[in-house]
Structure 1
Amino acid sequence: MPGVSPFHRLHLLVNFHIGADPERLISAGRLVSALFAALAIYLDPTRPARSLNEAHLVLSAYVVFSLLLMLCPPRRPLAHPVHLLSHAVDVLALGTLVYLTDELDSPFFPFVPFILLATTMRWGMRGAVLGAIVMEGMMIAVGWRDLTDGDSELNLVIMRSAYFLVAAAMLGYFGAYRARSGQRFAQLASWSAAPVSMDERAWLHDLLDHASRLLGAPRLILTWQDRGDPVGRAALFGPEGLALLPLPDGTGRAGIAAILQSAGWAMPAPREMRSAPFVGTRNKGRLHVLDIRHGHEDDASLARITAQRIGDELERFALTHAIAESARDQERVRLARDLHDSVLQDLTAATLKLKAVAAGLPPAARGTLQAVSALMAAQQRRIRLFVEDGRKLAALRPLSASLSQNVNELCDQWGCDIGLTVTPPDMEATARVHRELAQLLSEATANAVRHGGATRLNVELSRIDHGLSLCIADNGCGMIVGESDDPPRPRSLRTRVEDMDGSLAITRYAPGLALRIEMPLPEMSEPGMPAS
């Protein structure tokens, strides 16, 4: 450090080592106490009225002991007996000096609280209690003669006992506070950046569960709004689990009351609530901590740190999904190119050969080949649509026309009737939405006809808040539901819906099966409006 004197460097070095190391601070306090006691006897040797030589001997040994521990502090775990041994020497030396120098009126009595300070720094609340008990016992032991010699000093014993107990309580509080802060720092440090799960609900549950244990609050409310999302979302975490709700229009306490009312939770008192904001590049929000029973002065700072960490995790979640979506789009483009260069060309060649073969057959024998040729032509159209979608992923197209074409093909393929309703009729969506809906309809129709023997399906597609609702009902035999808490659901449909961050619910099992699928679709827009 240029421009700093050697004396100042030494001063900073000593302060840093002592302040950063409790063991050195205890050793320094012991040595300073012993040196001041020696200085007191040296300047006023008549104050110890009796046993002056014995007091000099004990004090000299204690100064040497303090100097040794200052130069070579013990580096052992807190439970190691060497620490108990050092405090036992402190009790023995200070108790002997007090006993040899006027007992309860001893000038060395002010140094006795050093024992309480040292044990509290080393063991927190337990150390404070242990130090108080030892000091009370030592005071009674050395002052017993004063209490029984006819000139009782009971008032002095009571006042010093009260002093020791109050000091122990205050120091114990700071010791417990220090231990609690250390535990919270450890929990913050253990908040590792685990891989982001594609299951948003499970990921949010783990995130808020860690925050709940860190803040010591059983219930949390997380409200946030992503960039481009005009409404926002709210996540409620408590002993009942996790609940996700749309963010209400109101803000502040009124908005929280609306969220709690929607979830059926009771509204806590204002003194039992605390909130902290967070702001990121992709989102902003606020963490609300509920049911606070014992507030501490550092809870507000910890809530702010936790809220910002949750905001960073939400940023990471959104970025991970954006990267995954970009990778999927690139893979679709590559797959579309491969399909165009291989499968589509082969299907075209096969269709031409079938037409040539059918031209040479009698009219009565052409029906089967024409049906196969029509099926192959339908698959060609699907592949061409996939190829075009891969080239122009963000284009918006009407849903009614493409779904009607898919429904007609499914009716011909499976020999069933399908009724389709799209609300609103002019709703538009991107190519990915068209493709996913077509796959869902195809899978649901196949399951209904093959497994349920259905001859009629009703399909209702409607727009909901920032997403789609797809209801599919058939007239088949339905499903048999057991007594388990998790009834069976079509595995292929469930997997596809989960990949789109959607939800699948069975609203009717028999007669006939009825499904309700909800999918978040932030890339959709209203008719006539640009995509976000």
Structure 2
Amino acid sequence: MWRGLRIETDPERLISTGRLVAALFAALAIYLDPTRPSGLLGEAHVVLGAYLAFALWLRLASPRWPLTSGLHVIHHGVDVLALTLLVYFTGELASPFFPFLPFILLATTMRWGIKGAVLGAVAMEIMLVAVGWQDLQDGESELNVVIMRSAYFLIAAAMLGYFGASLTRSSHRFAQLAAWSFAPASADREAWLRDMLDHASRLLGAERLLLLWHDQDGGTVALREPDGLRLRDISDPAFWQARAGGLAQDDLSRRTEMSELQAIAAAAGWGLLSPAPAEVRSAPFNSSSSAGRLFVIDARDLHEDAKHLTKITAERIGHELERLALVQAIADNARDQERVRLARDLHDSVLQELTAASLKLKMVGAAIPEKARDPLNSVSRMMIEQQRKIRLFVENSRNLESVPPQMLSSSLARSVNALCDQWGCEIALSVMPPDMEAPGTISGELTQLLREATANAVRHGGATRLMVELQRQEKGLKMVIADNGCGMTVPEAETPNWPRSLHERIRDMNGNLSIDRYTPGLAMTIEVPLS
């Protein structure tokens, strides 16, 4: 029965239809009961006929101005004038056409929100005073009618203004959701998270947000505050096991939200956050790669629809985290494929050429006196060591997952001995703790970093001694490299003058490079994650 019923959803057409219906019912009322107006029937017919034609024209051929255009004030000015005249001609304050006046209030609210509600209420009050002024002056005071109808218009305007403000707020939030940044996930995870949570903060109207999520690589807690972002990786299985129920549950009680919030902040080492319980709300999110929860702290908007907006925002953040994971997986896959291709090229070109060069050195050494062979033997040993390293790189690149963990003190010590022979310098190595292990790929990258730093220090800085300190940190590794060379020129601009090859390799590892001293001697600090 109701399947064929279609409700008008275009606000402009709905307003024009309401205007036409009001005019038709007014005409029907005068036709069926011509006793009112008794003395101004002709004038009422003229006004009603003109207004009916105006309403019909707007319904059939309305100008397609934007819904909120100020030009619609002309249309509603005609509405006010026509209905005011009809009320005046048909008994003033006792007019049967008074119920049509709220149409103007409804139309202006739909069009301009709370501003329209205020505009409509002002127009209604002016019309009420203008129409009822004669009744108030003729000795038969109808002050009570004026007061009650004034109160009616003001109450209606206030309630409609509330819905108009809600409509405006919803439109603004939809615009903010549509404007969510689709910027590519950068290598700087902290900057990417800060931008995303800043946008979510503006959308939700809260200065502080706490984001908690867990994936196959571990878990992270991020606290967005007005003065920046605090980020903490938490790997304790007991912590995530205790949070498992909260991450999956849609709605948490205020008491549970507060206890969870304080437990998370304590585990991250941030102390008490101390928000008001009524100003905290949260929502979970789940994706194929992660699960988490978004906590809104110090929420200023306590409206019911804010809860639904929090859920939408949390789901959107979950999708963004999944996009970040996919982008990183694609980048890792592309890097692995490039590594395999490079290993194949090294095996087929450089390694074969080094082998041929070694054979030629042996032939040359056999043809010269034995006392003159020492320099050739040193070069030959160096080439053999390079061949060994290339073969190891090729084998590891062909099966990246099989690279076993390495004890860094041993692997870096071997590299230090080879570098000392190659560049004729001294390298003091310190690894704390001495038994520290790292994935094979990380160990290989650290070896490459040390090799490039040594080459730069000797070739460009004339260094004869280097000091290398490697320490374990909470999030990864910290390597400090200092030399006694001439150093680098202090940059005049704010952008540091990074050693290019080192900076690019560290950036690919999602690490940080800082220059501690430019001269005399270069000192730098390298921080890289273990994962």
- Write the distance in 2 (CA, Å) between the matches of 1:345 and 1:257: 58
**Correspondence for 2:392 among 367, 381, 385:** 385
Confirm whether residue 405 of structure 1 aligns to residue 414 of structure 2: yes
Structure 2, unaligned runs of 5 or more: 244-259
8 A Cα contact 1:340 1:387, kept in partner = yes
- Write the distance in 1 (CA, Å) between the matches of 2:125 and 2:269: 56
Residue in structure 1 matched with residue 106 of structure 2 by the alignment: 117
Change (3 A) 1:72 1:519: same
Alignment of 1:233-272 (within 5 A): 233-247=220-234, 249=239, 252-258=260-266, 262=270, 267-272=274-279
Residue-by-residue CA offset, 1:107-145 (whole Å, 9 max, x unaligned): 111211111111111111221121111111111111221
**Correspondence for 1:493 among 496, 502, 507:** 502
8 A Cα contact 2:461 2:487, kept in partner = yes
Change (3 A) 1:79 1:275: closer
- Write the distance in 2 (CA, Å) between the matches of 1:314 and 1:176: 33
- Write the distance in 2 (CA, Å) between the matches of 1:413 and 1:438: 15
- Write the distance in 2 (CA, Å) between the matches of 1:372 and 1:411: 14
- Write the distance in 1 (CA, Å) between the matches of 2:80 and 2:350: 90
- Write the distance in 2 (CA, Å) between the matches of 1:133 and 1:259: 57
Confirm whether residue 301 of structure 1 aligns to residue 308 of structure 2: yes
Residue in structure 2 matched with residue 396 of structure 1 by the alignment: 404
Residue-by-residue CA offset, 1:248-273 (whole Å, 9 max, x unaligned): 848612234337863x8953322222
Alignment of 1:333-412 (within 5 A): 333-394=340-401, 395-399=403-407, 400-412=409-421
Alignment of 1:99-138 (within 5 A): 99-138=88-127
- Write the distance in 2 (CA, Å) between the matches of 1:368 and 1:303: 72
**Correspondence for 1:12 among 1, 5, 20:** 5
8 A Cα contact 2:284 2:311, kept in partner = yes
SS at match of 2:5: helix
Residue in structure 1 matched with residue 197 of structure 2 by the alignment: 208
Residue in structure 1 matched with residue 339 of structure 2 by the alignment: 332
Confirm whether residue 456 of structure 1 aligns to residue 443 of structure 2: no
8 A Cα contact 1:275 1:287, kept in partner = yes
Q: In structure 2, what residue type is equivalent to 1:31? A: L
Confirm whether residue 94 of structure 1 aligns to residue 103 of structure 2: no
Q: Between the two proteins, what is the percent identity of the paired residues?
A: 63
8 A Cα contact 2:262 2:272, kept in partner = no
Confirm whether residue 420 of structure 1 aligns to residue 396 of structure 2: no
- Write the distance in 2 (CA, Å) between the matches of 1:50 and 1:93: 18
SS at match of 1:342: helix
Aligned-pair CA distance for 1:507: 5.1
8 A Cα contact 1:398 1:426, kept in partner = no
Residue-by-residue CA offset, 1:309-352 (whole Å, 9 max, x unaligned): 11111111111111221121122122212211111011111111
Aligned-pair CA distance for 1:500: 0.6
Indicate the larger mover: 328-337 or 423-432.
423-432
**Correspondence for 1:162 among 134, 151, 159:** 151
Q: In structure 1, what residue type is equivalent to 2:417? A: N
- Write the distance in 1 (CA, Å) between the matches of 2:506 and 2:516: 16
Change (3 A) 1:518 1:226: farther
Alignment of 1:268-287 (within 5 A): 268-287=275-294
SS at match of 2:201: helix
- Write the distance in 2 (CA, Å) between the matches of 1:59 and 1:434: 90
8 A Cα contact 2:215 2:291, kept in partner = yes
- Write the distance in 2 (CA, Å) between the matches of 1:123 and 1:496: 56
- Write the distance in 2 (CA, Å) between the matches of 1:488 and 1:127: 59
- Write the distance in 1 (CA, Å) between the matches of 2:70 and 2:233: 59
Aligned-pair CA distance for 1:214: 1.9
Q: In structure 2, what residue type is equivalent to 1:301? A: H
- Write the distance in 2 (CA, Å) between the matches of 1:483 and 1:328: 35
TM-score by length of 2: 0.87
Alignment of 1:453-492 (within 5 A): 453-465=462-474, 467-476=476-485, 488-492=497-501
8 A Cα contact 2:204 2:299, kept in partner = no
Indicate the larger mover: 434-443 or 202-211.
202-211
8 A Cα contact 1:396 1:428, kept in partner = no
Q: In structure 2, what residue type is equivalent to 1:363? A: E
SS at match of 2:183: coil
SS at match of 1:281: coil
- Write the distance in 1 (CA, Å) between the matches of 2:461 and 2:293: 48
TM-score by length of 1: 0.87
SS at match of 1:278: strand
- Write the distance in 1 (CA, Å) between the matches of 2:201 and 2:528: 29
Change (3 A) 1:79 1:301: closer
- What RMSD over aligned residues (CA atoms) do the two structures have, in Å? 2.8
- Write the distance in 1 (CA, Å) between the matches of 2:410 and 2:265: 44
8 A Cα contact 1:235 1:243, kept in partner = yes
Residue-by-residue CA offset, 1:371-407 (whole Å, 9 max, x unaligned): 3222222221221111111122122043343322211
Aligned-pair CA distance for 1:158: 2.5
Residue-by-residue CA offset, 1:278-334 (whole Å, 9 max, x unaligned): 111111111222232232221111111111111111111111111221121122122
Q: In structure 1, what residue type is equivalent to 2:129? A: I
Structure 1, unaligned runs of 5 or more: 523-532
Aligned-pair CA distance for 1:487: 5.3
- Write the distance in 2 (CA, Å) between the matches of 1:338 and 1:437: 23
**Correspondence for 2:299 among 292, 297, 306:** 292
Q: In structure 1, what residue type is equivalent to 2:183? A: A
- Write the distance in 2 (CA, Å) between the matches of 1:503 and 1:472: 14
- Write the distance in 1 (CA, Å) between the matches of 2:267 and 2:274: 10
SS at match of 1:12: coil
Count, aligned residues: 508
Indicate the larger mover: 387-396 or 32-41.
32-41
- Write the distance in 1 (CA, Å) between the matches of 2:406 and 2:491: 41
Residue in structure 2 matched with residue 27 of structure 1 by the alignment: 16
Q: In structure 2, what residue type is equivalent to 1:12? A: L
